Amino acid sequence: MSGVTKSQVMEALSQVMDPELGKDLVSLGMIKDVKMDGANVSFTVELTTPACPLRTQIQHDAENAVKAIPGVESVDVTMGARVQADKKIENLSVKNIIAVGSGKGGVGKSTVAVNLAVALAQCGAKVGLMDADIYGPNVPTMLGVEVLPPTPQGKKIQLAEAFGVKVMSIGFMVAPGQPLIWRGPMLHSAIKQFLMDVDWGDLDYLIVDLPPGTGDVQLSLAQTVPLSGGVIVTMPQKVSFDDAYRAVSMFKKMDVPILGIVENMSYLEMEDGSRRRIFGEGGGEDLARAAGAPLLANIPIDEKVREGGDMGQPVVVSDPESAGAKVMIAMAQSVAARMSMEIRG
């Protein structure tokens, strides 16, 4: 139908809401390239990230809204992702830098960081993973990569890649078991090199696996690049809460938005369907409340998660239908949604 106009299309799309933000697609500036060809309409919905967990719902709602215009016979919706040039910094073309931290070791922070990165990549995002845990670099083992590829003369350091994720770690540069006894200036230099002298390319997300605590690495990272958000990993017991809250305070002092809390090893599911709370209960909820941030996930004690890490096959790849993997995938979608909300304000 030749009478269909762009204003009619935009009016119809102004009734379609972004479920996370509670605002319509038009006022959010998400509708681009509206074209009419007789009774056929096409347009692009520009998402903040290709990993948006609600992209299918948004696409379906937008398509139905335009189809309801009298005379429209077909609708072609392209789902894109916004390029945010203002987020790019010198020598680093990354839209969102998300730090994964904890107040203490042994809570599964690296496991969360690795599965978060891989799950985001599975959603179609361009993802990098920087292992900033200088003293305990476990990411290479968890991703099954041992060495970096050769770097051509005069070029930036080339990255390893696994499961669609670009990877950098100090673990590639030291012999197995070799201790690193570094002070602040050396740590700062290493973090800066990992960011600026590495060929990350264009990324939607750079996930940074921080060391435990609130020390030199965290400070160096914040001084080198603007962090888009932080994810705090904790466990249910009180002692973990006390330590994890220090990480919350650190992010707040550095003006880093806290995207949410992840409670790891929350429960053990028994054969009869009941759940044993081996490490206590409620720590994640208490920390989320204290931080003023959502609880993103309660990850169960699942041997598939441990096996995946030991084998270099993250559980979201090795057994995506397992209980642990399903929670990790939902966690990644929640992180993407929270990051989208932060970007759009």
Q: For 324, which DSSP code?
A: H
N- to C-terminal Cα distance for the chain?
38
d(CA 10, CA 98): 34
Question: What's the sign of the alpha-carbon dihedral 341, 342, 344, 345?
Answer: positive
What is the model's pTM? Answer: 0.81
Q: Residues 123-160: pLDDT tens digits?
A: 889 999 999 887 778 899 999 998 888 888 888 889 99
d(CA 294, CA 288): 6
Supply the pLDDT for residue 2: 52
Supply the pLDDT for residue 1: 41
Query: pLDDT below 50 — which residues of the chain?
Result: 1, 83-88
- Is residue 325 helix, strand or coil? helix
Q: What backbone torsions phi and psi does residue 148 show, to the nearest 5 degrees?
A: -85, 150
Residue 59, Cα to own-chain centre: how many angstroms?
A: 22
Can you list the domains of the chain with their CATH numbers? 6-82 (3.30.300.130), 86-344 (3.40.50.300)
Residue recorded with tokens 């809460």: 241
Supply the pLDDT for residue 328: 95
- Stated as kind and residue range, the H or E segment containing 87 is none
- Is residue 149 helix, strand or coil? coil
Residue type, 145: V
